[in-house]
A and B are shown apart, each in its own frame.
Chain A
């Protein structure tokens, strides 16, 4: 069996890539082979590198925000600079990190492996999506180089279309292009999941990760064109002074908000649904137990995707939209909370009578449930019209969406990255450091964002760099937390890179996990499977017994443990 040699530290044979078999990484080392690849696994890695760069960039802006907010006065940044910094933080994090994060990296890498396919349905479209994303990224870098953009990531008109003196059109084009990359990805996933499942891989044997990506793809292809058109209209109004959104030209600024949130609310589900998919994989694996309520989790993803399209007006309760519209959007927002609650309850029930171990991915998964629960419950506050009137556009909202989008998506993203890292690279990350990072991030996150709920209910508006003195204590706590959080995010960066060369060789299935992706060598060969697998088992058929923590695996022959035997054999 491949990749099983006992590890000898320092042995030259063990450094660098796993060399025991030909796989997607060592098949060709040339730059050209990467830039022209149509292998979904390599494209997943191209995305991983790109979004990591943008994540660090967005993170630097986040630290500047927290630094400025340490004191009530403007001491680090001027008003204009602060406005650009928070705009770029949100813009980069949303459009260039969070939206592509899980789908474009792990979704890309894993969906074909999970359903037993050789690749996605349209490999060249997949590569094109990365290039389109990169074009969007270049526009963004250009915006940074020229002097930034200051509209907030929300681009509200008529500020963006008439008043802003910054690079609005370039930034809008950046988001426009990155939007097309997610449309491409969405189309690819939907077709792949419909047409390329291996024999025996029925819809209800699909891993819930795949269901979650199916729901996400629907949002991507139905919602993204709307934001693309909307941003284009902002550019047209700005450039040609054609009245669309600016009342001075005969336009309607509220129209922009409707169009913007019609996409941007479902976009939150583009970020959170794939995370929920990851959590379903992690909870089952580390409880060694089938998921509780498979059908309910699968259909709740679809329910979220559909109802999620009908709640956009809850961003506009104080915008001047009709009171009755506000009420409809409020009740629909309460309804969309139910499928999320169903998932949390089912994950909890999955733990019941499990054989639970606490490797890094599981710590991230449990952290996700905690943070997502807080984020979801505080969403109920914001859906309450009378409360929203008070806390709208305050730090309460900032705290809420960070709990969902950072607490939720990023915890799941990192949990998934640790879980599948051995599959992607063929090497294990160092477990102790992994657990440390999960704990640092969980603690740092709560210290950063929980005080923001309090300061928000006190009335501190968002996007303020100067604030009344009585808000300072909570802001100091938040800034302190953010430095812990930053360290928590940096630690994995170092040990992941370290593990590429020095990590223990993982073998095909270090977690003893169920799923087609674990039946192929790590890293997988270019064509994924030697022969097309035939699926004869249900999803998550975990057996409670043989415990397989990393430590025990170090010196165990995996074949002897009898896990993850391919069905085809």
Chain B
């Protein structure tokens, strides 16, 4: 019962790097703290009132000394900055081939949808040794998705997609926490991340979930909501809206003259708030779908739109 570990598991590719920076900082801090505390104690004893220590030659200012003890910490601090900033930067550059899982946070549970159709609550099954990217949104307040063993955390916002990626390096079950305070059952909003070797993972994915694959569910919604009447699959056909074939990942020329990259967030925004970004050559006639699609449904449509590749349509 009274387990007493002092260090979290290292179960992702970045964990040892983060811990390395941590120990570097622990070392630097110890160096400064021990130096300062040593001098304080040493002076406190040697120059206690009434002691016979030599006190001649008092100095009250020394630019040289001030410069030294400003400059050395400054150089050290900037060195640490450069090292750790690189690690942070990598955290936000997911590999292109990452396996994508869609997450919706809501008071007080995490729901995950796998492209293959599996969905789960407060559990997340991920493959071993394969990069995984999470595309996350919240249905209500801000949550934060945190897996200590992987050293990753990302706030999950309503009305917006944020994403994070990791590559698990050890099979096992790890804590999943919500770390942005979200109300009554905040501390209950968590569960487990289960890392499985590839074969086992495939087996798990193949289990009977009763769901069709995500893109397929998205296509059904796309038809049902009547999106296809304006956004036709054939790029040659002149629809009232632009064709969405092969759109994902492309640069889009806007009516305002700007260009944006068609990422998940752009697709989401264009469905919920179509007037925000109008494609050049089209007029602002699309109605909003806010309130008509659930966050899960929206993710399915996004998954469908991402699957529309130019060479031969659907994957």
Q: Name A's B-contacting residues (CB within 8 A).
A: 79-80, 83, 150, 152, 154, 156, 158-159, 162-164, 246-248, 253-254, 287-296, 317-320, 323, 326-327, 330-331, 334-335, 337-338, 341-342, 344-346, 348-349, 351-358, 366, 369-370, 373-374, 377-378, 380-381, 383-387, 389-390, 392-394, 454, 457-459, 461-470, 472-473, 544, 547, 549
Contact = CB atoms under 8 A, between A and B. Distances in A.
Nearest to B20: A386
B160 A351 contact: no
Contacts of B58: 289-290, 353
B105 to A, nearest CB: 13
A384 B21 contact: yes
A459 B175 contact: yes
A378 to B, nearest CB: 7
25 contacts: A79-B185, A79-B188, A156-B180, A158-B140, A158-B141, A158-B158, A159-B142, A288-B49, A294-B60, A296-B61, A320-B154, A326-B88, A330-B81, A334-B77, A355-B47, A355-B55, A377-B33, A380-B29, A381-B29, A386-B14, A386-B151, A389-B152, A457-B22, A464-B187, A470-B4
A61 B161 CA distance: 37
A253 B142 contact: yes
Contacts of B62: 293
Range of interface residues on B (Cβ < 8 Å): 35 or more
Contact of A463 (B4, B153, B181): B181
Contacts of A369: 36, 40
Given A318-B144, A331-B85, 19 more contacts: A79-B186, A247-B157, A295-B61, A320-B154, A327-B89, A342-B69, A346-B66, A353-B53, A353-B58, A354-B47, A358-B48, A366-B40, A366-B44, A374-B33, A386-B151, A390-B151, A466-B187, A467-B187, A472-B2
B313 interface: no
Contacts of B178: 461
B32 interface: yes
Contact of A331 (B36, B65, B78): B78
Contacts of A288: 49
Contacts of B37: 370, 373
B39 interface: yes
Given A354-B47, A387-B18, A469-B1, A159 B61 contact: no
A131 to B, nearest CB: 33
Interface stretch (B5-13, B199-207, B226-234): B5-13
A323 B94 CA distance: 13
Contacts of A158: 140-142, 158
Interface string B177-198: 1111111111110000000000
Given A156-B142, A380-B25, A334 B179 contact: no
Interface string B15-35: 001100110010011001100
Most chain-B CB neighbours within 10 Å: which of A150, A253, A295, A335? A253
Contacts of B208: none
Which residue among B4, B87, B159 has the maximum number of chain A CB atoms within 10 Å of its CB? B159
Contacts of B21: 384, 386-387
B158 A337 contact: no
A292 B44 CA distance: 16
B158 A458 contact: no
B69 A341 contact: yes
* 7 smallest beta-carbon distances between A and B, as pairs: A459-B148, A247-B159, A385-B88, A464-B187, A386-B87, A351-B43, A377-B29
Contacts of B1: 469
B7 A392 contact: no
B310 interface: no
A457 B44 contact: no
Contact of A253 (B69, B153, B158): B158
A247 B158 contact: yes
Contact of A385 (B33, B84, B158, B181): B84
B69 A393 contact: no
A287 B47 contact: yes
Contacts of B59: 292
B292 interface: no
Given A374-B33, A386-B17, A470-B5, A459 B84 contact: no
Contacts of A544: 55
A373 B33 contact: yes
B92 to A, nearest CB: 5
A385 B85 contact: yes
Contact of A377 (B32, B149, B181): B32
Contacts of B89: 323, 327
Contacts of A470: 3-5
B36 A320 contact: no
